[in-house]
Amino acid sequence: MVTDPATSASRSWGGRRVAVLTGACVLLLAVGAQLFPIRHPAGSRAKLVILDPSCLPARRDGVYEPLGDYLGGIQHRSLAVEIVRNGAEFRDALAGDPEFVLCPDGVGIDVPSERYLPLVSGRRLAPRNLRPRGVLLFRKSVEREQAPWRNQPARTIVGDSLSLTATGPWRRHHPADPPQPPPLGPVYGADPYDHTGALMALRTGCFDFAVVRQWDADRFFAAGLLSETEWGREVMTPPAPDLMLLVSRRVSASQRLNLGDRLTLLGRDGKDQDSAVAGLVAGLGSMNLAGFNLLLEPDLDLVRRNFPRHWPLQAP
């Protein structure tokens, strides 16, 4: 079949014109989201729900309330902050459909994916600013145990009962095996965002084994609080997101993009930061966080494949 060159040229130009117009529309939408953000009716309040069993007043005043103000400022609306301490309170709070949820990764992987998307995860202080793993610390002078949380529970302390760096060793997904229940014997720390308490108990001689966040253990070794000659360590889990901030699917794609961009800028550049933002960055530093990194849905799906879901939201 012979094709008229003029017709082919016309079709080619038509395809290019559609592509150019589509690209221009996307660009206009992105620019419009920045220049003319959605403004919500006066009195409209969103909510940030935070799961923190420790419920430290300094963390509430120095991190959670300023983070709520920062998120609300991005959205040009007032944002209520609700801090819950246990699984029952967390489930009740989720039933109210909050727009934002901040929680440990071991809980975040079980928040309904049809309602919430990952937004950011915590960024640790440089140079060790990659995602942490769970590590087993063991006293070199005692007999080595393969799974001390089950075989020597009275001599084992676990950083907390909710984060993957602490509970990951027995939450790993093995297709041939059913998920293991949480071991009942070990002592569990109360703070899923900081394993200092568990490490202090280990240091004072109360325990021979500990399962904790890698970066927290590294801080103790670097400060000389734990000795390399006395304590050994073994990596037990793949990297985990750690602290997670989720956002409701009700929030538009353009708003989610803007929120993610603004959150990842925290702590990266001190220029033009007002006192409130500087205070938030300092508060995050008190949790050994330097800010946030984007957490994408495919990335969280990989975490869900590595660890079984439906974890009990209370300490064993």
Number of domains in the chain: 2
Q: What is the pLDDT of residue 170?
A: 85
Phi, psi of 266 (to 5 degrees): -60, 130
Say whether both 263 and 194 belong to one domain.
no
Say whether both 99 and 144 belong to one domain.
no
For the chain, how many residues are written? 316
6-61 pLDDT, tens digit per residue, is 555 455 555 555 455 555 544 554 444 455 444 444 444 689 999 999 888 999 99
CA separation for the pair 306, 172 (Å, rounded): 6
Q: Are the C-beta atoms of residues 174 and 139 closer than 8 Å to each other? A: no
Say whether both 194 and 157 belong to one domain.
yes
Say whether both 149 and 286 belong to one domain.
no
Kindly state the average pLDDT of the residues 185-209: 94
Picking from 235, 266, 287, the residue at the C-terminal end of a domain is 235
Q: Are the C-beta atoms of residues 303 and 241 closer than 8 Å to each other? A: yes
What is the pLDDT of the chain when averaged over all its residues?
84
158: pLDDT strictly greater than 50: yes
Say whether both 147 and 123 belong to one domain.
no
Tell me the sheet residues that pair with 105: none
Alpha helices in 139-274 (DSSP H): 148-151, 164-167, 196-203, 214-222, 253-265
Picking from 192, 210, 235, the residue at the C-terminal end of a domain is 235
Picking from 213, 235, 257, the residue at the C-terminal end of a domain is 235
182: pLDDT strictly greater than 90: no
Q: Regarding beta strands 116-124 and 156-158, do their DSSP bridges make them parallel or antiparallel, or are they unpaired?
A: unpaired
Tokens of 24: 């221009």
Phi, psi of 235 (to 5 degrees): -70, 130
Q: What is the pLDDT of residue 218?
A: 92
Cα end-to-end span (Å), the chain: 75
147: pLDDT strictly greater than 80: yes
Say whether both 245 and 124 belong to one domain.
yes
Domain span holding position 296:
45-128+241-306
